[in-house]
């Protein structure tokens, strides 16, 4: 007989037994298995019922210290959207000589079958190791018998010789976290800086305790003229810095619209190795500045070493240089050559993967292969250009200076007193544009003499979209005319990518499908493959039912099917900044012949709005003369990001814009 319990009874059981939950591995309760939804976040697809992590350092005379990280997760799957939480992925570091290891993996899946708890044990074939790249491995723990309602309980250890590299302690996920316990025990010889991030408060208790570690070693004792080895026991005594975090009911962190990288706002703790000093040993400083990081990267054979291959650059330039070419023409041809000849393989990185010689031969490479080739060619041609290290949006904002803080490189060209950024990985990109993935606040420009400086990656120029509609409105509500769209800079890149694989017929069909009673004809694109010019889209159209008749008056919205009809910002409040990716501008102009025999009785009032500090501007104007109605809206967002504290102003700003664009013109018979 199947066990059936009401949700209210289940929640009663959960609350009543919350203090009695046993968090030892394998001690999953029936109440946890019966839980049909999360008691706080009803829509959650899964929840982490319990998370425990403990890091301690072990010592052996031969190798010294190594870190051991014990992890225990208990996760509840509520529905099919949460099934992916049945797999635990463990990232691992590696180098030429060492690699982190996962061991002592134990796990169980629990399901309720015919009123009884059914336990399924994790087998070895559920533990999968993958070589990600030369610096990373990954172990996936695929739990068995995972379905809706399952509770998984799994623990494992990670052993690491990389004693200064402690993985981030994550406190917030895309699902709720009910209870977390973290303990980090660090010997006094290692000094770490602690960095926190996120909006959910994390309290850390710090104490010191003495510790004694026994160890055995071989010792030689002289007996007469011979010696024999025997094992002896010694003790290493020191104090430890202990950090303890215990907290409950951490809400889920979910992606929202207009967010750059949600991980930037995720609550977490990161330990940075600052220094090491053993008894009777010199002090070693490991704290880095961003200048130190940039210098280390440039000195690598896969970075600065590749940029020193002058002969390679000279050979390529022989085919590009020609009589009568001025500097601007040569500069553009070098950029187009790299962009068109070399295809990006999809991999990021500031170190060359193939090397520039093989990249030219194979016609493919990672970001560094392509953009360092661009830097080298421009520099050899006499231009003032340097590589710029970047952290992409997906890589997030680093908490402190580290080599992992960068994962991308572009070219920084100094021209007429301005710094112009070039990225040749994007085939549809124009000169001086960055793809959105690389627009992440700041980069680090590194010179050949190993000096460096921070540079802003945020475009100062507005990416414009200009629309002009000229049409005739009939008394039966039929609107007929022409539309011309112009897209500039990053807006042009967006639409070039959107229309890249579509022919004219497909675009017309899509436009008609997305608009009711809408017919498109004679669609044309200009400058589709001229990436340094505005992309132009023009077409003829007709659309029915564009006015409403009430009595002897006609009513219509002068921007018809264009412009904003809904406020994208509907939340009452917001914790995170609003990310527009890049500053942008939208302008719509409507020139309309109104129906014969009618004149304008009223039009919406002109209005001008501004966000604080001129972050955004909006204007709405109308004028009527000689039977023609001209309406225009201009919307500028002058920054790439609006801080969360200005969200109420932004919401009101957009609300007013929407309201104005929904206001109507009233016509009466002349």
Q: Which CATH number characterizes residue 519's domain?
A: 2.60.120.1130
Instruction: Please list the alpha-helical segments (H only) found in 273-326.
Output: 290-298, 304-307, 310-320
Domain around 148: 7-284
- Each residue's pLDDT tens digit, 182-238: 999 999 999 999 999 998 889 999 999 999 888 766 655 443 333 445 666 777 889
The CA distance from 570 to 255, in Å, is: 15
For residues 110 and 166, the answer to whether their CB atoms sit within 8 Å is: no
Q: Mean pLDDT across the chain, nearest whole number?
A: 92
Judgement on whether residues 226 and 240 belong to the same structural domain of the protein: yes
Structural domain contains residue 2: no
Residue 158 burial (10 A CB sphere; 0-12, 13-18, 19+): buried
Per-residue b or e along 245-262, where b marks 16 or more CB atoms closer than 10 Å to that residue's CB: bebeebbbbeeeebbbbe
Q: Taking residues 93-117, report their average pLDDT.
A: 93
DSSP element (H, E) containing 246:
strand 226-250
Query: Any residues with CB less than 8 A from the CB of 4 and at least 6 apart, and which?
Result: none
The CA distance from 86 to 403, in Å, is: 32
For residues 32 and 21, the answer to whether their CB atoms sit within 8 Å is: yes
Best CA proximity match to 656, nearest among 562, 554, 569: 569
The CA distance from 141 to 314, in Å, is: 51
- Each residue's pLDDT tens digit, 35-86: 999 999 999 999 999 999 999 999 887 888 999 999 999 999 999 999 999 9
Best CA proximity match to 51, nearest among 28, 71, 77, 33: 71
- Each residue's pLDDT tens digit, 236-278: 889 999 999 999 999 999 988 999 899 999 999 999 999 999 8
User: Where among 436, 456, 476 does a domain terminate?
Assistant: 456
Q: What is the DSSP string of 75-102?
A: EEE-SGGGGGGGEEEEEEEB-SS-B-EE
Cα three-residue angle 586-589-594, rounded to 5 degrees: 150
Contacts of residues 82-87 at CB distance under 8 Å and 24 or more positions apart, as own/partner, are 82/44, 82/45, 82/46, 82/148, 82/175, 83/146, 83/147, 83/148, 85/45, 85/46, 85/152, 85/175, 86/142, 86/143, 86/146, 86/150, 86/152, 87/140, 87/141, 87/142, 87/143
Better-predicted residue by pLDDT, 233 or 635:
635
Q: Residue written as tokens 């009910």? A: 178
Judgement on whether residues 78 and 213 belong to the same structural domain of the protein: yes
Judgement on whether residues 484 and 335 belong to the same structural domain of the protein: no
Q: Taking residues 601-615, report their average pLDDT.
A: 96
The CA distance from 212 to 370, in Å, is: 53
Q: How many domains does the chain have?
A: 3
The CA distance from 464 to 76, in Å, is: 48
Structural domain contains residue 125: yes
Confidence of residue 14 (pLDDT cuts 50, 70, 90): very low
The CA distance from 635 to 441, in Å, is: 23
Structural domain contains residue 383: yes
Judgement on whether residues 476 and 379 belong to the same structural domain of the protein: no
Q: Which CATH number characterizes residue 367's domain?
A: 3.10.620.30
Q: What is the DSSP string of 591-648?
A: EEEPPTTEEEEE-PPPEEEE-GGGSEEEEEEEEEETTEEEEEEEEEE-SSEE-GGGHH
Residue 166 burial (10 A CB sphere; 0-12, 13-18, 19+): buried
The CA distance from 152 to 111, in Å, is: 9
3-state per-residue secondary structure call for 195-243: EEECCCCCCCEEEEEEEEEEEEEEEEEEECCEEEEEEEEEEEEEEEEEE
Q: Which of 117-131, 158-172, 203-217 has the lowest mean pLDDT?
A: 203-217
Judgement on whether residues 479 and 434 belong to the same structural domain of the protein: no
Sign of the torsion formed by the C-alpha atoms of 581, 538, 479 and 472:
positive
Judgement on whether residues 580 and 481 belong to the same structural domain of the protein: yes
Structural domain contains residue 132: yes
* CA 573 vs CA 256, 383, 578: distances in Å: 12, 49, 12
DSSP 174: S
User: Where among 227, 253, 284 does a domain terminate?
Assistant: 284
Judgement on whether residues 41 and 144 belong to the same structural domain of the protein: yes
Supply 24's token pair: 């030892």
Structural domain contains residue 1: no
Structural domain contains residue 376: yes
Q: Which of 14-18, 255-259, 454-458, 530-534 has the lowest mean pLDDT?
A: 14-18
Best CA proximity match to 341, nearest among 323, 325, 364, 321: 364
For residues 490 and 551, the answer to whether their CB atoms sit within 8 Å is: no
Judgement on whether residues 424 and 510 belong to the same structural domain of the protein: no
For residues 103 and 159, the answer to whether their CB atoms sit within 8 Å is: yes
Q: What is the pLDDT of residue 4?
A: 37
Q: Which of 124-128, 178-182, 317-321, 446-450 has the lowest mean pLDDT?
A: 317-321
Supply 189's token pair: 């010889």
The CA distance from 246 to 269, in Å, is: 13
Q: How far is CA 654 from the centre of its chain?
A: 25
Sign of the torsion formed by the C-alpha atoms of 610, 611, 617 and 623:
negative
Q: Taking residues 601-605, report their average pLDDT.
A: 96
For residues 203 and 247, the answer to whether their CB atoms sit within 8 Å is: yes
Q: What is the pLDDT of residue 10?
A: 40
Q: Which CATH number characterizes residue 263's domain?
A: 2.60.40.3140
Query: Any residues with CB less than 8 A from the CB of 122 and at least 6 apart, and which?
Result: 105, 106, 107, 108, 109, 141, 143, 144, 154
Q: What is the pTM of this model?
A: 0.85
For residues 58 and 133, the answer to whether their CB atoms sit within 8 Å is: no
3-state per-residue secondary structure call for 17-79: CHHHCCCCCCCCCHHHHHCCCCCCCCCCCEEEEEEEEEEEEEEECCCEEEEEEEEEEEEEECC
Best CA proximity match to 347, nearest among 310, 392, 303, 307: 392
Q: Taking residues 348-358, report their average pLDDT.
A: 96
User: Where among 266, 284, 302 does a domain terminate?
Assistant: 284
Q: What is the pLDDT of residue 280?
A: 83
For residues 188 and 276, the answer to whether their CB atoms sit within 8 Å is: no
Better-predicted residue by pLDDT, 16 or 522:
522
Judgement on whether residues 274 and 319 belong to the same structural domain of the protein: no
For residues 269 and 202, the answer to whether their CB atoms sit within 8 Å is: yes
Judgement on whether residues 467 and 449 belong to the same structural domain of the protein: no
For residues 260 and 641, the answer to whether their CB atoms sit within 8 Å is: yes
The CA distance from 37 to 175, in Å, is: 12
Q: Taking residues 479-499, report their average pLDDT.
A: 97
* CA 334 vs CA 80, 308, 325, 377, 656: distances in Å: 51, 18, 12, 7, 47
Q: What is the pLDDT of residue 160?
A: 95
The CA distance from 210 to 423, in Å, is: 54
Structural domain contains residue 592: yes
* Other CB atoms within 10 Å distance of the CB of residue 479: 22
Judgement on whether residues 424 and 518 belong to the same structural domain of the protein: no
Structural domain contains residue 586: yes
The CA distance from 325 to 340, in Å, is: 20
Confidence of residue 29 (pLDDT cuts 50, 70, 90): very high
The CA distance from 567 to 185, in Å, is: 50
What strands lie across the sheet with 584-593, from one edge to the other? 518-526, 535-543, 479-487, 463-473, 584-593, 628-637, 616-625, 607-610
The CA distance from 561 to 546, in Å, is: 9
Judgement on whether residues 93 and 225 belong to the same structural domain of the protein: yes
Query: Any residues with CB less than 8 A from the CB of 59 and at least 6 apart, and which?
Result: 65, 213, 215, 236
Q: pLDDT at residue 608 above 50?
A: yes
Supply 225's token pair: 């003229």
* Other CB atoms within 10 Å distance of the CB of residue 32: 22
């Amino acid at each position: 007989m199947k066990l059936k319990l009401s949700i209210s009874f289940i929640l009663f059981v959960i609350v009543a037994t919350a203090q009695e939950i046993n968090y030892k591995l394998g001690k999953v309760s029936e109440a946890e298995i019966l839980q049909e939804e999360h008691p706080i976040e009803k829509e959650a697809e899964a929840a982490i019922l319990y998370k425990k992590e403990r890091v301690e350092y072990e010592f052996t005379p031969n190798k010294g210290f190594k870190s051991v990280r014990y992890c225990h997760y208990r996760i509840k799957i509520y529905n099919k959207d949460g099934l992916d939480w049945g797999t635990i992925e463990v990232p691992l570091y590696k180098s030429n000589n060492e690699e982190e290891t996962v061991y002592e993996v134990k796990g169980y899946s629990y399901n309720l079958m015919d009123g009884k708890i059914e336990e399924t044990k994790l087998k070895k074939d559920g533990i999968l190791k993958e070589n990600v790249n030369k610096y990373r491995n990954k172990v996936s723990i695929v739990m068995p018998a995972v379905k809706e309602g399952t509770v998984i309980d799994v623990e494992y250890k990670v052993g690491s010789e990389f004693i200064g590299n402690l993985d981030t302690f994550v406190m917030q996920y895309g699902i709720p976290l009910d209870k977390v316990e973290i303990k980090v025990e660090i010997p006094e010889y290692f000094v770490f800086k602690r960095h926190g991030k996120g909006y959910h408060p994390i309290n850390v208790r710090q104490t010191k305790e003495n510790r004694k570690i026994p160890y055995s070693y071989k010792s030689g004792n002289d007996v007469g003229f011979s010696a024999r080895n025997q094992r002896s026991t010694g003790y290493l005594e020191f104090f430890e810095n202990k950090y303890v975090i215990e907290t409950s009911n951490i809400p889920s962190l979910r992606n929202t619209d207009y967010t750059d990288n949600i991980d930037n706002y995720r609550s977490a703790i990161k330990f940075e190795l600052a220094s090491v000093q053993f008894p009777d040993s010199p002090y070693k400083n490991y704290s880095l500045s961003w200048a130190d990081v940039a210098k280390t990267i440039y000195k690598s054979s896969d970075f600065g070493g590749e940029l020193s291959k002058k002969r390679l650059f000279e050979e390529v330039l022989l085919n590009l240089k020609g009589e009568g070419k001025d500097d601007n023409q040569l500069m553009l041809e070098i950029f187009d050559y790299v962009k068109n000849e070399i295809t990006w393989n999809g991999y990021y990185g500031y170190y060359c993967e193939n090397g520039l010689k093989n990249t030219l031969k194979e016609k493919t490479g990672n970001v560094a292969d392509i953009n360092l080739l661009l830097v080298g060619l421009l520099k050899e041609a006499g231009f003032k250009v340097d590589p710029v290290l970047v952290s992409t949006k997906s890589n997030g904002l680093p908490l402190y200076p580290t080599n992992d803080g960068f994962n991308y490189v572009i070219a920084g060209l100094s021209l007429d007193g301005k710094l112009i950024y070039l990225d040749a990985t994007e085939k549809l990109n124009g000169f001086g544009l960055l793809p959105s993935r690389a627009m992440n606040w700041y980069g680090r420009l590194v010179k050949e003499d190993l000096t460096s400086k921070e540079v802003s990656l945020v475009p100062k120029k507005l990416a414009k979209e200009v629309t002009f509609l000229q049409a005739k409105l009939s008394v039966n509500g039929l609107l007929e005319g022409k539309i011309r769209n112009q897209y500039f800079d990053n807006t042009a890149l967006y639409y070039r990518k959107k229309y890249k694989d579509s022919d004219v017929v497909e675009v017309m069909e899509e436009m008609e499908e997305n608009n009711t009673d809408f017919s498109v004809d004679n669609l044309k694109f200009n400058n589709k493959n001229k990436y340094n010019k505005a992309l132009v889209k023009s077409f003829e159209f007709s659309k029915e039912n564009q006015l409403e008749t009430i009595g002897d008056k006609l009513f219509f919205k002068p921007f018809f099917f264009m412009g904003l009809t809904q406020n994208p910002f509907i939340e009452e409040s917001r914790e995170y900044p609003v990310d527009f990716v890049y500053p942008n501008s939208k302008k719509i102009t409507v020139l309309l012949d109104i129906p014969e025999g009618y004149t304008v009785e009223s039009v919406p009032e002109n209005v001008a709005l501004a966000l604080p500090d001129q972050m955004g501007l909006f204007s709405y104007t109308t004028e009527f003369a000689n039977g023609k109605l001209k309406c225009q809206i201009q919307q500028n967002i002058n920054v790439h990001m609006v801080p969360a504290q200005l969200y109420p102003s932004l919401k009101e700003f957009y609300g007013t814009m929407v309201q104005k664009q929904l206001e109507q013109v009233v016509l009466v018979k002349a």
